[in-house]
Structure 1
């Protein structure tokens, strides 16, 4: 069998760091100048929550910590483990004196598991290292968070970190591919390190796929073809979780970039969201932006946005990117205002506080017999009967008759609305029709 000398475990597994010195990236968490690095170097392992995207080192950091302090290490997944696995871990901890328990997908930990484990964590018998792709402040049980003195967000590895990992794998004869004669160009290494988005596991998987798919020469040299590298990278399809924390952060970044009129940033986040494939979320957020951030400063943008979203629905990808790019640029470069919905929020605040007053009698429904007897509709002035289509009369309840919710700004077409508003307010003060 070709390449039969390669051992069974995946390259990504074999190349995990054996101690904290071998950890690549994450210097903000476990660099040599951090408190966590010093604690572990001194043999103390605090309970930790690690969160971040898949493949950027959560499991690797846990195993490296265990390898550094040479403590017993048990790894479980909260989605498949039951209470018995926790009980077994506690038995090992009592036998060995202490234990590092790594729980992947810790946000899925159930109450029975938690209630049994946490007392042993509190007593220091078990050092808990939890890992999650979710934001722990949103998804992890507060009882678990409170026992973890360290909550650390991992960041995608830098391109240079990935390149170093690739070179380690190519030269390591014990765990990597160093026992094979591999000819690979710097360009090929660059493609892998640039295309895996800071995901160490994916970079190792691509490298292994490329090596396994390459031809051997007569002298057993494996020559890595650049087109093969590109094919293996494309086939991986690196996408983000549509229900994960990253997805919602990207939507937030998109909106804030549009609100800040930064076309290039908005297009960047749009591109990342398109790669995720969730066109529904993109269109929903763009519709919100049209009314929340642009609104009456450029009312036509809302119409254009709805039309663009309808086109997206009909076209699908890849053509859907064209109307999306168009509307993103228009939204970015349109004037912005939030005065309309902010005015409504002030009105809602009054209602929720009970500050409503009595509806004026002249505005009440008068389309029934007996309405006049109750005084409903009497004295109402019909604006269409007046030359300018406007008449000065009170519409708010007496308790709120001088209340002002709307404060127009001077952006785009809102300038026009502001002039009309100010003129009407002046006429009211003067008592004119």
Structure 2
């Protein structure tokens, strides 16, 4: 029954490494030349804290450590575990000997759990391995952090790491898919490796789903096509490799949906990006949208977007979806304007073409010896000395007098700029 249950488990679970030598990637932490590997090889496991993005192998490495030293192992999640779970872990350690306790989302560990567990960690009854996607120096309780002798950052797996993992899964007839007759081109393997952003769990999930989707009851041979993989990847909404078409297409769809004020579509695309775990790209794109597509029509949106991005960075998933939902909806339903950056683009175009002219003498810097003899600053009118802090004088070079880069529209708050702009233009004509 246990074997049947294991076989029915997801491929990503079955392919978890059993010892450190089975671990793919993260050689900077558990490579054979590292201090940690040598300690574990000699049977010593210090309390550890792993942090890094989802799918980088935090749970897998903890499992592999326990398998290498052949010690009892228990895994819990701090978001769902209670004091009773910790008491059970301590009881298991008392009956079986030193226990390796893996706590996922350790930054959510509450005080009651902590107060009960940490004395047993200090006495060596339990070896604690904590894991978090957050920065442990900001988000993990100092009491827990201080008990962890080593704090290690896991990086997203490389393309080569993911490719190796996929090939291992295809060959392994005990835990993987080696007992099936699967035909899969190298380019299709590379597609999965390129499309899951260094996330091992996601890569194995895509592989398993693509194989299942390609099975034909009447044929023993399973041919996995690129089309099948692409469909599985797209349905998962992964952030993908930086050069991947799907990655950029999803971000483009998000921006165009917001620009077009389509709330439903914008929420759909941001949901797909969230499921891919790529908060960095989402935040960067929302900041661009705030200034590129909304801009002067609703200046407060840029402020709110910056605040939302800061909240996302502090919260991490899954809570990060809350400020993201707020800012995406606000951006969608806000008035739009692109006049500001378009104005600057026109000015940059002139500069690149050499249309610059001589700086007016009355505007030149006059705060140094000899400047007055050159006429710098002569005739300059100080606006604050005039009513409404405005006076009519020339600011553009002679070559560009009369040039208009900025043309305000009348959407949202920019109506106010439109009025001020045209009033100033009228005053300029009243010489």
TM-score normalized with structure 2 length:
0.59
Superposed CA deviations along residues 371-419 of structure 1, whole A, max 9, x for unmatched, are xxxxxxxxxxxxxxxx86677xxxxxxxxxxxxxxxxxxxxxxxxxxxx
Superposed CA deviations along residues 184-234 of structure 1, whole A, max 9, x for unmatched, are 011110110000000000000000000000033855000112111111111
Q: How does 1:71-150 map to 2 (within 5 A)?
A: 71-150=71-150
Tell me the distance in 1 between the aligned counterparts of 2:102 and 2:68.
15
Superposed CA deviations along residues 114-136 of structure 1, whole A, max 9, x for unmatched, are 00100111111111000111111
Q: Which runs of 5+ in 2 are unaligned?
A: 241-277, 306-327, 352-380, 386-431
Q: How does 1:31-430 map to 2 (within 5 A)?
A: 31-216=31-216, 218-239=218-239, 276=282, 306=299, 316=332
Report what 1:400 is aligned to.
none
Partner secondary structure for residue 16 of structure 1 = coil
Tell me the distance in 1 between the aligned counterparts of 2:190 and 2:69.
35
Tell me the distance in 1 between the aligned counterparts of 2:176 and 2:192.
17
Superposed CA deviations along residues 332-351 of structure 1, whole A, max 9, x for unmatched, are x999xxxxxxxxxxxxxxxx
| CA gap 1:89/1:217 in 2 versus in 1, 3 angstroms | closer
Between the two proteins, the alignment pairs up a number of residues equal to 284
Partner secondary structure for residue 233 of structure 1 = helix
Decide which structure has the larger Cα Rg and report it: 1
Superposed CA deviations along residues 10-53 of structure 1, whole A, max 9, x for unmatched, are 00000011100011111111111111000101000100011111
TM-score normalized with structure 1 length:
0.59
| CA gap 1:303/1:54 in 2 versus in 1, 3 angstroms | same
Tell me the distance in 1 between the aligned counterparts of 2:48 and 2:205.
28
Work out whether residues 217 and 223 of structure 1, in 8 Å CA contact, stay in contact via their aligned partners in 2.
no
Tell me the distance in 1 between the aligned counterparts of 2:331 and 2:50.
40
1:276 positional shift = 3.0
| CA gap 1:5/1:27 in 2 versus in 1, 3 angstroms | closer
Work out whether residues 77 and 104 of structure 1, in 8 Å CA contact, stay in contact via their aligned partners in 2.
yes
Tell me the distance in 2 between the aligned counterparts of 1:90 and 1:183.
48
Tell me the distance in 2 between the aligned counterparts of 1:307 and 1:78.
38
Point out 4+ residue stretches in structure 1 off by more than 4 angstroms.
272-275, 277-284, 302-310, 312-317, 387-391
Tell me the distance in 2 between the aligned counterparts of 1:306 and 1:24.
48
Tell me the distance in 2 between the aligned counterparts of 1:37 and 1:211.
35
Partner secondary structure for residue 7 of structure 2 = coil
Work out whether residues 99 and 126 of structure 1, in 8 Å CA contact, stay in contact via their aligned partners in 2.
yes
| CA gap 1:53/1:7 in 2 versus in 1, 3 angstroms | same
| CA gap 1:323/1:168 in 2 versus in 1, 3 angstroms | farther
- What RMSD, in angstroms, separates the aligned Cα atoms of the two structures? 3.7
| CA gap 1:225/1:98 in 2 versus in 1, 3 angstroms | same
Work out whether residues 74 and 100 of structure 2, in 8 Å CA contact, stay in contact via their aligned partners in 1.
yes
Work out whether residues 56 and 200 of structure 2, in 8 Å CA contact, stay in contact via their aligned partners in 1.
yes
Work out whether residues 301 and 331 of structure 2, in 8 Å CA contact, stay in contact via their aligned partners in 1.
no
Partner secondary structure for residue 84 of structure 2 = helix
Report what 1:420 is aligned to.
none
Partner secondary structure for residue 178 of structure 1 = coil
| CA gap 1:226/1:86 in 2 versus in 1, 3 angstroms | same
Partner secondary structure for residue 91 of structure 2 = helix
Partner secondary structure for residue 212 of structure 1 = helix
| CA gap 1:237/1:193 in 2 versus in 1, 3 angstroms | same
Tell me the distance in 2 between the aligned counterparts of 1:315 and 1:77.
35
